[in-house]
Structure formats: C-alpha cells, structure tokens
Amino acid sequence: MGAQWKAKHKEAAANAKGRTFGKLSKEIMIAARNGADPDMNPRLRLVVEQAKKASMPRETLERAIKKGAGLLGESVHYERTTYEGFAPHQVPVIVECLTDNVNRTVAEIRVLFRKGQLGTSGSVAWDFDHCGMIEAAPASADSDPELAAIEAGAQDFEEADEGAWLFVTEAADLDTVCRALPEQGFTVHSAQLGYRPKNPVTTLSAEALEEVEAFLAAIDAHDDVQNVYVGLAG
C-alpha cells in the first residue's frame, strides 16, 4: 500500500473502468502538449502504454492525444496540483490532482480532509521519496527481478500485486529503465513518477485501518484526483 494506494475491490465497481479511462485521458492530454508522436515524447509513450494495458478504446486514446496536442481546435487547460496532509491516525498522504478549476478543487479537497488534516506544501513530502515506479510482470518463470533491477538500472524492487514486481528508479531514469526491463524478461504494466514513503506507518489496529481506508476511498473518488500516495505499510 505504501507506493500508491489502491482501493480494495476497485475493479469490481461498475464505473471503475470509466474512471480509469478518464484519469488516463487527462494524463495523455497533458503529455501530448509536448508532441503527439509517442516515439518522440517519452512521457506520452509511457502513458499510452498504460492506456493500452487498461484496454482503453483506440478512438478514445487517439482523441485524447489529438486534443492535448491542439490538433482538434480545442484548448485544454488542466493544471496539476498537489495536496499534502494526514489521514486519520496521523497517516501521511500526498494527493495529486489534474483540474480545470483550482479554486473549486482546493475547496472540495479541504472538505474531504476534515476527517484528517490538510497540511501546507512540504508538510509531509519530506517523508516520501519522489521517484519512478514501474510495475512489471515476469515473462517466464526464469525471469529474475533482482538481476533485472541491476541490469536495467533500477534502485530497488519489491513484490507487487498478482505476481508482478515494482521497480523503483531515480525520477530521471524512469524511461530508460522502462525500456530496459523487457530485455530482462519483464513485461511492463505501468510506469509513472510518484511518491514512496520513507517511514510507512505499521502500527494501526484493524478498526483504525478501516477509518484510513474510508478516508482514502472518499478522496480517490473525487473526479479531479489522479493519484493518492500514503505512508502506510502493507
């Protein structure tokens, strides 16, 4: 849970896929500002691969690229904002948003943080590492994550969900490691810059954990929220 919080049973929700496509479309539009060709735009290439893995329809994907690159005559003015604070029981949280109305978003995020504590910029970021995070699955039983991490240039690796592995990189090395992992026998599922807790909380009771989960679920459900990072072990 430490690298990036994911809602339990999220994929079972009826609107989960639509929300995923909406988040990915925003990321694609932002990335496409620097060019509509994924081969010439590393950030766009990573998000496009993520969208394909999520089975985003080709028409939706191409429209997001064209819209972001300004090829449809429509202007896109999403702004990336980051909020820091604490969930219940002093669990540190970083929330990343993409919004077309910062004033609306900050007002609504303040409301969502009433059961926790909204902090100022830098109030919890010091307790996280800003890094590249790549989720990849072994292509065969012979694929060695430790060897792959060393050869591809990753800083660290750990087990992820459903037999996959999380490879952690320097922020500047994300694209390089992402390209190298397939040569080491790993299929990349997703790759992004994010926040990894240095000292995740490990002492919550089951009841306290339920409170934190409910708080995180409410934040993640907000339309402008792209990612939620939490300093929580497990």
Specify if 28 maps to a domain. yes
Specify if 14 maps to a domain. yes
Average pLDDT of the residues in 54-78: 87
User: What pLDDT score does 219 carry?
Assistant: 94
> What is the chain's mean pLDDT, rounded?
88
Specify if 76 maps to a domain. no
Which of residues 74 and 71 earns the better pLDDT score? 71
Specify if 29 maps to a domain. yes
User: What pLDDT score does 162 carry?
Assistant: 81
Specify if 150 maps to a domain. no
User: What pLDDT score does 150 carry?
Assistant: 95
Instruction: Tell me how many domains the chain contains.
Output: 1
Could you tell me where the DSSP H helices lie in the chain? Answer: 16-31, 42-53, 58-68, 102-112, 145-152, 174-180, 206-220
Q: Is the pLDDT of residue 1 over 60?
A: no
Q: 186-215 burial, b for 16+ CB within 10 Å, e for fewer?
A: bebbbbbbbbbbeebbeebeeeebebbbeb
Average pLDDT of the residues in 125-138: 93
User: What pLDDT score does 52 carry?
Assistant: 87
User: What pLDDT score does 12 carry?
Assistant: 43
Specify if 200 maps to a domain. no
User: What pLDDT score does 42 carry?
Assistant: 83
Query: pLDDT over 90 for what percent of the chain?
Result: 62
Query: What stretch of H or E contains 186?
Result: strand 186-197
Of 166, 148, 150, the closest CA to residue 158 belongs to 166
| Confidence tier at 233 by pLDDT (50, 70, 90) | confident
Phi and psi for 224 in degrees, rounded to 5? -85, -10
**How many Å is the Cα radius of gyration of the chain?**
18
- Boundaries of domain holding 49: 10-68
Specify if 123 maps to a domain. no
User: What pLDDT score does 153 carry?
Assistant: 96
Three-class DSSP category at 149: helix
pLDDT in tens, 143-187: 999 999 999 999 999 988 888 999 999 999 998 999 999 999 999
C-alpha to C-alpha distance for 44 and 144, rounded to whole angstroms: 28
Specify if 43 maps to a domain. yes
Average pLDDT of the residues in 76-92: 92
* CATH number of domain containing 41: 1.10.10.200
Average pLDDT of the residues in 34-53: 87
Q: Is the pLDDT of residue 139 over 80?
A: yes
| Confidence tier at 29 by pLDDT (50, 70, 90) | very high
User: What pLDDT score does 15 carry?
Assistant: 57
